[in-house]
Copies of this chain bind each other. A is one copy, B any other.
């Protein structure tokens, strides 16, 4: 057999750096194919295809609006990756590190609410 198809699961879909870049770009909100193409310096067909893969594994959703297509991030689809890699977290993170992380996050959350 050949290599596992990119649309098999989120792990394979996200292996490609351009697709991770697309998700990063979408984390700030909805975006159009053209916008993404310009932001990432990719051709329009390239972006369309990458978004097709990301859509196939459910990590992005589309909203059709006239001749535009608004792509939106669907974060929870990335959870399997998080859950898996989290198993190994203890190999580099101590409990105190994690507490620091949590406190830092609580702080940033407080800021956003003020």
Residue positions of A touching B, CB distance < 8 A: 3-4, 6, 9, 11-12, 14-17, 20, 23-24, 27, 73, 75-76, 78-79, 81-82, 84-92, 95, 98-99, 102, 105-106, 109
**B75 and A88 form a contact (CB under 8 A):** yes
Collect the chain B residues with CB atoms within 8 Å of residue A11's CB: 14-15, 17, 20
| Minimum distance in angstroms from A13 CB to a CB of chain B | 9
Extra inter-chain contacts (5) besides given A23-B88, A82-B82, CB under 8 Å: A4-B17, A14-B15, A27-B88, A78-B92, A85-B85
Listed from nearest, the 3 A-B pairs whose CB atoms lie closest are A75-B91, A15-B15, A76-B92
Within 8 Å by CB of A3, from B3, B86, B91, B106, lies B3
CA distance A83 to B18 in the complex (A): 17
* Max count, chain B CB within 10 A of own CB: residue among A4, A15, A16, A90: A15
**A95 and B105 form a contact (CB under 8 A):** yes
**B84 and A20 form a contact (CB under 8 A):** yes
